Amino acid sequence: MSRLSLAALAESAVIWHADELASPIGAVLATGYAALDAQLPGGGWPVGAMVEILQAQSGQSEWRLLLPALARSGSGPVVLVGAPHTPFGPGLAAQGLASERLLWIATAELASRMWACEQALRCTDVVAVLVWLPQARSEQLRRLNVAAAEHAKLLFVMRPAQVQTESSPASLRLLVSLQPDNDGVQLEILKRRGPPLTQPVRLAARNGRLAALLSRNQGRAANRPARGMRVTLPTDCAVESGNALDRITNAS
């Protein structure tokens, strides 16, 4: 069989042009922000690939960024590994994410976070995993990326802004900050399968009612789990089992 010419390969879309957004390898989930979707391959968060979210202060903007998609991700559990702050149930519910869907794994050690994250990615029922890994090494991130691809899960890894100069296996890498003049979020796309983006993507500020609701998390509700949220650690979560979350133990 004769070889395809370069022109024929390009015409058949076998070759990806670096000045164009690539087609996604797997499924995507719309972010809920049209301006952001327009800049992502396939128009949304990649399913089965790591998304790395970098910011100066953990817990500042990741919920704002991820809530719209998580609320529409189905009815399965959303696993939080090492979240720095207690998720605020009323604020999440106001944007459509029921606290009953949350599995909050509270552990400080890196090895425990890695183990819990890998176990959660193996769980059949889990739809998304959010993990905070301020000190993870490249090979550890690569392991999680492989697990997300193998089990077709949404995986969001939160890391500090200062690691942006380090290499990363993530297919999508964002630097997130608050807009200086209002409550909006500003995103710099550091890595995507496509041309560099010279201008940041800006997401609108929260409406006043929601901002007031979320601010209550600074008071008496800040140190206790949201109503209905399970503080758990999954163990022996076999993909073959009928219910992948049927064996859990309380975190100490």
Q: Does residue 229 sit within a domain? A: yes
Mean pLDDT of the chain: 78
Q: Is residue 14 part of a domain?
A: no
Residue 124 lies in a domain: yes
Residue 48 lies in a domain: yes
The answer to whether residue 47 is domain-embedded is yes
Q: Domain with 66 in it: what CATH number? A: 3.40.50.300
Is residue 59 a part of any domain in this protein? yes
Domain extent, residue 126, equals 26-236
- pLDDT (average), residues 33-61: 91
Q: Is residue 103 part of a domain?
A: yes
Q: Is the dihedral of CA 46, 52, 55, 61 positive or negative?
A: positive
User: What phi-psi label fits residue 57: left (phi over 0), alpha (psi between -120 and 50 degrees) or beta?
Assistant: beta
Residue 208: band (very low, low, confident or very high) from pLDDT cuts 50, 70, 90: low
Whole-prediction pTM: 0.78
Phi-psi region of 42 (alpha: psi -120 to 50; beta: other; left: phi over 0): left
Residue 72 lies in a domain: yes
Note the pLDDT tens digit of each residue in 60-117. 688 889 999 999 998 899 999 999 888 777 878 888 899 889 998 988 899 999 999 9
pLDDT of 165 > 50? The answer is yes
pLDDT of residue 213: 53
SS (H, E, C) the chain: CCCCCHHHHHHCCCCCCCCCCCCCCCCEECCCCHHHHCCCHHHCEECCEEEEEEECCCCCCHHHHHHHHHHCCCCCCEEEECCCCCCCHHHHHHCCCCHHHEEEECCCCHHHHHHHHHHHHHCCCCCEEEEECCCCCHHHHHHHHHHHHHHCCEEEEEEEHHHHHCCCCCCEEEEEEECCCCCCEEEEEEECCCCCCCCCEEECCCCHHHHHHHHHHHCCCCCCCCCCCEEEEECCCCCCCCCCCCCEEECC
Count how many domains the chain has.
1
Name which of 16-30, 44-58, 124-138, 152-166 the model is least confident about: 16-30
